[in-house]
C-alpha cells in the first residue's frame, strides 16, 4: 500500500479508508459481525479490544525491538495516524471512525471564532500555556462534534461497548466529543487498564472495547525516544501484554496500536517564534503545536503571513494555505462545517520544532514531539493478539 498525497522527502499523507487508525473501529465492527466495512481485514471474533499505547510509532517499535520482544516478534501491520499526528485528532478518529476533516477535531489547539486565543482540544480549554478557562460549558463537546461516533453506532447495532479511561478523562471534553458511546470504565495504571479492558469482553454478544495507556508518550516527551525511561515504559507494556495474552477469553482479539509516533528534537533544532517578528506579524491566533502550526491571520493579512512563513522557514517546514492542505488530503475529506477549524496557514515541520514561549505549555521545550507528517510520526503499529 502507498501513502496518499504529494509531499517532499520523508513526509507522507495518511491512508484514510485504507490503512489508518480511523479504520480500526469500523473494521472491529465487521469482525464481530455488525459491520460490513473491514479495510484492515480483521478476522472474525466475538470481541475486539483496541488498546492505544500513546506515542508508540511503528518505527520506534521496530528500532527498539530488544526492549519489547513480545510485541516485536509478532506479525504486525503498519497503519497511519491521522493529521495532525496528535492525540486529540487521533483519538477522535479512533472513536468516531472518521478522519479529522469529518469529525472536526483538527489539531491539538486551533482557532475558534468566538475567542482570540487557541482552543486546546486535548484538554478542552481556551487560553495559552495551559491557562485560560474550561470550555466544556461554552463549547459543548456533544454539539461541537455532533456526528454519532463509531462506538455509538456499534452500540445501536447490538454490540456491548466499553471505553476504559483514567478517571481524569471520564468526563473530559475530548472523551465526550470523540469517544462517547457504551459504558465508561475507570482504571488507573497499565495493569488495571488492561485487566478492565479484558474483563469488559466477558459476556454474551458482540463486544468492542477501547482502552488507552499513556506512559510511553509521557516518557518520550520528557526524556526522548530511546532514552532509558522511555525504554523502561515500553518494556513494562510489553511484559504486561505478554502476561495478558495468556488470559484473553476465547474468541477475543486484542489490537495494540498507537495514536502517533514521535521524534526527538535537540535544542539546536528548536526555532523560537517569539524571536522572529516577521513570523508573528499579522497573526491573530498562533495554534497547533511545535511540529505543526496552524495560523489564523488578521483580516486581510493571510497572504502576507503565508509568504513570510514560507520564506523564513524554507528548508525546515512545508508551509501551505488552508485550501492546499485540504486539496492534498491531509485531513481527509473535509466537511463544510470543519473548514474554518483548519488554520488559514498550515506549517508542517520537516526538521526541528517551531515553538513560542508565551503560547506553548512548557514553552514548547519538551524533547519528544509529534504532529507532523514524517514516517516516524505517521506510521503506528497494529499488532493483533488472539485467535
Contact assessment for residue 384 and residue 253, using Cβ atoms and an 8 Å cutoff: yes
Contact assessment for residue 181 and residue 154, using Cβ atoms and an 8 Å cutoff: yes
How many domains, in total, are found in the chain? 2
When mean pLDDT is compared across 271-275, 287-291, 361-365, 370-374, the lowest value belongs to 361-365
When mean pLDDT is compared across 23-27, 137-141, 235-239, 361-365, the lowest value belongs to 361-365
CA distance 222 to 231: 13
Identify the residue with better confidence: 340 or 5: 340
**pLDDT score for 114:** 94
In a domain, 333, yes or no: yes
In a domain, 1, yes or no: no
Query: Is pLDDT of 6 > 90?
Result: no
For residues 243 and 284, state if they share a domain: no
- 65-75 per-position pLDDT tens digit: 999 999 999 98
Average pLDDT over residues 155-167: 98
What pTM value is reported for the model? Answer: 0.96
For residues 34 and 141, state if they share a domain: yes
- Residue 199: enclosing H or E segment and its boundaries? helix 190-199
In a domain, 12, yes or no: no
Query: Is pLDDT of 84 > 80?
Result: yes
For residues 334 and 379, state if they share a domain: no
For residues 259 and 287, state if they share a domain: no
Average pLDDT over residues 237-260: 97
In a domain, 147, yes or no: yes
Residue 331's domain is classified under what CATH number?
Answer: 3.30.1360.180
For residue 5, name the pLDDT band (cuts at 50, 70, 90). very low
**Distances from the Cα of 327 to the Cαs of 56, 95, 97, 322, 378, in angstroms?**
29, 25, 21, 9, 19
Query: Is pLDDT of 166 > 50?
Result: yes
For residues 256 and 280, state if they share a domain: no
- 297-323 per-position pLDDT tens digit: 999 999 999 999 999 999 999 999 999
**pLDDT score for 4:** 47
For residues 295 and 356, state if they share a domain: yes
Average pLDDT over residues 252-261: 98
For residues 129 and 160, state if they share a domain: yes
Residue 231's domain is classified under what CATH number?
Answer: 3.40.720.10
For residues 251 and 224, state if they share a domain: yes
For residues 229 and 274, state if they share a domain: no
SS3 208: strand
CA distance 220 to 233: 9
Query: Is pLDDT of 167 > 50?
Result: yes
In a domain, 273, yes or no: yes
CA distance 262 to 332: 21
For residues 259 and 147, state if they share a domain: yes
Average pLDDT over the chain reads 96
In a domain, 234, yes or no: yes
For residues 220 and 276, state if they share a domain: no
CA distance 294 to 121: 13
For β-strands 368-369 and 207-213, DSSP reports them as unpaired
For residues 47 and 73, state if they share a domain: yes
**pLDDT score for 387:** 73
**Distances from the Cα of 14 to the Cαs of 263, 331, 339, in angstroms?**
17, 8, 19
In a domain, 294, yes or no: yes
- 21-77 per-position pLDDT tens digit: 999 999 999 999 999 999 999 999 999 999 999 999 999 999 999 999 999 999 889
For residue 237, name the pLDDT band (cuts at 50, 70, 90). very high
**pLDDT score for 30:** 98
Give the domain range for residue 254. Answer: 21-104+118-263+373-385
In a domain, 4, yes or no: no
What is the chain's percent helix, strand, coil content, to nearest 5? 35, 25, 40
Amino acid at each position: 500500500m502507498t501513502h496518499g498525497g504529494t509531499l517532499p522527502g520523508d513526509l507522507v499523507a495518511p491512508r484514510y479508508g485504507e490503512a489508518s487508525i480511523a479504520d480500526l473501529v469500523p473494521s472491529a465492527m465487521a469482525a464481530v459481525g455488525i459491520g460490513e466495512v473491514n479495510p484492515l481485514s480483521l478476522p472474525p471474533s466475538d470481541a475486539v479490544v483496541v488498546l492505544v499505547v500513546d506515542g508508540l510509532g511503528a518505527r520506534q517499535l521496530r528500532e527498539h525491538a530488544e526492549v519489547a520482544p513480545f510485541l516485536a516478534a509478532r506479525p504486525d501491520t503498519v497503519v497511519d495516524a491521522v493529521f495532525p499526528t496528535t492525540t486529540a485528532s487521533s483519538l477522535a478518529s479512533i472513536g468516531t471512525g472518521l478522519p479529522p476533516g469529518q469529525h472536526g477535531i483538527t489539531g491539538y489547539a486551533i482557532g475558534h471564532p468566538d475567542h482570540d486565543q487557541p482552543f486546546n482540544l486535548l484538554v478542552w480549554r481556551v487560553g495559552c500555556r495551559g491557562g485560560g478557562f474550561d470550555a466544556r460549558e461554552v463549547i459543548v463537546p456533544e454539539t461541537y462534534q455532533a456526528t454519532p461516533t463509531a462506538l455509538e453506532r456499534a452500540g445501536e447495532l447490538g454490540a456491548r461497548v466499553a471505553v476504559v479511561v483514567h478517571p481524569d478523562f471520564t468526563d473530559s471534553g475530548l472523551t465526550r466529543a470523540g469517544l462517547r458511546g457504551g459504558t465508561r470504565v475507570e482504571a488507573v495504571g497499565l495493569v488495571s487498564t488492561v485487566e478492565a479492558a479484558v474483563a469488559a469482553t466477558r459476556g454474551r454478544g458482540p463486544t468492542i472495547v477501547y482502552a488507552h495507556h499513556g506512559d510511553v508518550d509521557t516518557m518520550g516527551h520528557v526524556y526522548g525516544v530511546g532514552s532509558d525511561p522511555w525504554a523502561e515504559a515500553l518494556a513494562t507494556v510489553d511484559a504486561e501484554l505478554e502476561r495478558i495474552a495468556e488470559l484473553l477469553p476465547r474468541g477475543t482479539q486484542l489490537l495494540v496500536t498507537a495514536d502517533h509516533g514521535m521524534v526527538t528534537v535537540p535544542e539546536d533544532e528548536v526555532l523560537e517564534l517569539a524571536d522572529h517578528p516577521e513570523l508573528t506579524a499579522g497573526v491573530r491566533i498562533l495554534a497547533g503545536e511545535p511540529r505543526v502550526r496552524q495560523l489564523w491571520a488578521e483580516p486581510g493579512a493571510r497572504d502576507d503571513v503565508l509568504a513570510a512563513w514560507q520564506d523564513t522557514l524554507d528548508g525546515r517546514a512545508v508551509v501551505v494555505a488552508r485550501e492546499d492542505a485540504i486539496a492534498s488530503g491531509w485531513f481527509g475529506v473535509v466537511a463544510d462545517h470543519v473548514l474554518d477549524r483548519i488554520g488559514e496557514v498550515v506549517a508542517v515541520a520537516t526538521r526541528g520544532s517551531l515553538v513560542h514561549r508565551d503560547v506553548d505549555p512548557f514553552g514548547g521545550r519538551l524533547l519528544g514531539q509529534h504532529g507532523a507528517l514524517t514516517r516516524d510520526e505517521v506510521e503506528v503499529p497494529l499488532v493483533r493478539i488472539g485467535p
